[in-house]
Amino acid sequence: MKVNTIIIGFGKAGKTLAGALAKKGETVALVEKSRGMYGGTCINVGCIPSKSLVTSAAEAAAHPDDSFEEKAQRYTRAIEEKRRVTGFLREKNYGKLNQLSNVTILDGTGRFVSANQVEVALTDGGTERLEGDKIVINTGATPVQLGIPGLAGNPKVYTSESLMDEPVLPKRLTLIGAGYIGMEFASMYTNFGAKVTVMEGGDIFLPREDRDVAEAIYEIMTRRGVNIVMGAKIEKIEGSTVYYEDNGEKKKVEGDAILAATGRRPNTDDLDAEKAGVALTPRGAVQVDELLRTTAPNIWAAGDVNGGLQFTFVSLDDYRVILSQLTGGSRSREDRKNVPYSVFMDTPLARVGLSEKEAADQGLPVRILKLPAAAVPKAQVLRKTDGFLKAIVHEKTGEILGAALLCPEAYEMINLIKLAMDSGASYTVLRDQIYTHPTMTEAFNDLFSL
């Protein structure tokens, strides 16, 4: 089959690009190896299912006196609701493209034959040879599996993807990895009623964050019952028991399930990228330039597979960059400003721009503004008063250099700060803005008045 563009992977960038090119009259072949992944990681095994469960977990936390059996029933219903949500969105994504006459969706695994040809091993058997003038790699990422003895092939060990499809609530859950995914799942499963232990090999908790932010998160998590073990050198896993060393002392953690939350790596193993002249980085990502071009002139890579930030909103911007290249534009990754991120814990964290430490390391003259969440009326209304709001403001120009929001609805509020930063506005714009009341956003009146 010959088409104008071949897209390998039905993720955020790939599906959006397929639709845009089809509307411009191009023929597109879209290859996806799993029928359960139409729409990509976010919809099926990432952001959407985890946030569905986070919402259900918060509702479960409102019933602290329930028996474990009642909590387990709530959890099973939450998994069913998560499946409904992801199934609905998956079908919507598939149908939106499948209805276009010039888009062909192939279920199977695509491998390069050359820089213009991809062979697809079809899920239902047989192969299909595709030829295209342009090719886009959008194969995403997969959970990292550490080489811990007893981890591989262990039915008691889950990834973040597989745990969210497990209908039975573990009474005791051990998490390996105290990063952002680990913190989201620790918070979520604690709210569901599980006893959670988090094990981290490093000695610094959340090293990317300022110490006041990390210490506040640590205090919130431990106060709510999460046991966080730092500096744990894991030696082996037997069943659902983790054996480790702590300051030279041999210890173990017994549980009912283990979640290996140790990051994700680019999904390039099946591509045969070298046959297309596509180079990979030492970490296995597709090597790209600021225009997302690979080392083959007619091939681009978008989303988690290209080694950039692994966020679905970054993947969406990758689509914009590639579409611009294909339609005579000039957009590049250099046009991105102040990419924010959120961690959907209870209490949530959202960050954008420089941290206090990063600003100090650069020798910038700054003012640090900090407001307790408890001082915000809406936080009192929500009965969620943990945390604080923190902004880093340039002393001379008044520009906002960064912010860390550890408070309710932080994931919504951070977008307004990003907008102000992108426009180069002074902090006084947010200080003097009129906000509806009572809302968390009106906290900016007070935060930027400090």
The reply to whether 191 and 252 lie within a common domain is yes
Say yes or no: 307 and 190 in one domain: no
The whole-angstrom distance between residue 318's C-alpha and the CA centroid of its chain comes to 15
pLDDT of residue 56: 97
The domain of 428 spans: 341-447
With cut-offs at 50, 70 and 90, classify the pLDDT of residue 16: very high
Phi, psi of 345 (to 5 degrees): -85, 180
Tens-place pLDDT, residues 329-340: 999 999 999 999
Is residue 150 included in any domain, yes or no? no
Sheet holding 341-343, edge to edge: 341-343, 349-353, 400-406, 388-394, 366-372
Helix spans in 227-287 (H): none
Does 248 lie in the same domain as 277? no
Which residue of the set 35, 63, 252, 437 is catalytic?
437
Choose the final residue of a domain: 233, 260, 287.
260
Confidence at residue 164, expressed as pLDDT on a 0 to 100 scale = 97
Question: Per-residue pLDDT tens for 119-138?
Answer: 999 999 999 999 999 999 99
End-to-end CA distance of the chain: 64
Tens of pLDDT along 36-87? 999 999 999 999 999 999 999 999 999 999 999 999 999 999 999 999 999 9
Stated length of the chain: 450
Q: What is the pLDDT of residues 218-227, one digit of tens each?
A: 999 999 999 9
Cα separation values, 93 from 44, 139, 304, Å: 11, 16, 19
- Across the chain, mean pLDDT equals 97
Q: DSSP of 193-236, one letter per residue?
A: T-EEEEEESSSSSSTTS-HHHHHHHHHHHHHTT-EEEET-EEEE
Whole-number percent of the chain with pLDDT over 70: 100
Do residues 32 and 82 both lie within one domain? yes
pLDDT of residue 78: 97
Q: Cα separation of 129 and 112, whole Å?
A: 10
Whether 364 and 317 share a structural domain: no
CATH code of residue 192: 3.50.50.60
233-238, strands of its sheet edge to edge: 233-238, 241-246, 249-254
Place of tokens 């941290």: 355
Query: Does residue 63 have an active-site annotation?
Result: no
How confident is the model at residue 46, as a pLDDT?
Answer: 94
Query: How does pLDDT run across 271-309, given as a tens digit for each residue?
Result: 999 999 999 999 999 999 999 999 999 999 999 999 999
Contacts of the segment 280-286: beta carbons below 8 A, 24+ positions apart: 281/307, 283/307, 286/137
Residue 148 lies in a domain: no
Cα–Cα dist 58/51, whole Å: 10
pLDDT in tens, 155-212: 999 999 999 999 999 999 999 999 999 999 999 999 999 999 999 999 999 999 999 9
For the record, the structure tokens of 408 come out as: 């309710």
Q: Which residues make Cβ contacts (< 8 Å) with residue 232, sequence separation at least 6?
A: 199, 200, 201, 244, 245, 246
This prediction's pTM: 0.95
pLDDT value at residue 35: 94
Helices 47-61, 68-98: axis angle to 10 degrees equals: 150
Residue 247 clears pLDDT 90, i.e. is over it: no
Closest by CA to 20, choosing from 28, 31, 9, is: 28
* 145: pLDDT strictly greater than 90: no
Of the three residues 312, 335, 358, the one that is the final residue of a domain is 335
Single-letter amino acid code for the residue at 41: T
Residue 151 lies in a domain: no
Q: What are phi and psi of 157, to 5 degrees?
A: -105, 125
Q: Does 282 share its domain with 139?
A: yes
Domain count, the chain: 3
Give mean pLDDT, residues 346-367: 98
Q: How far apart are CA 100 and CA 377, in angstroms?
A: 50
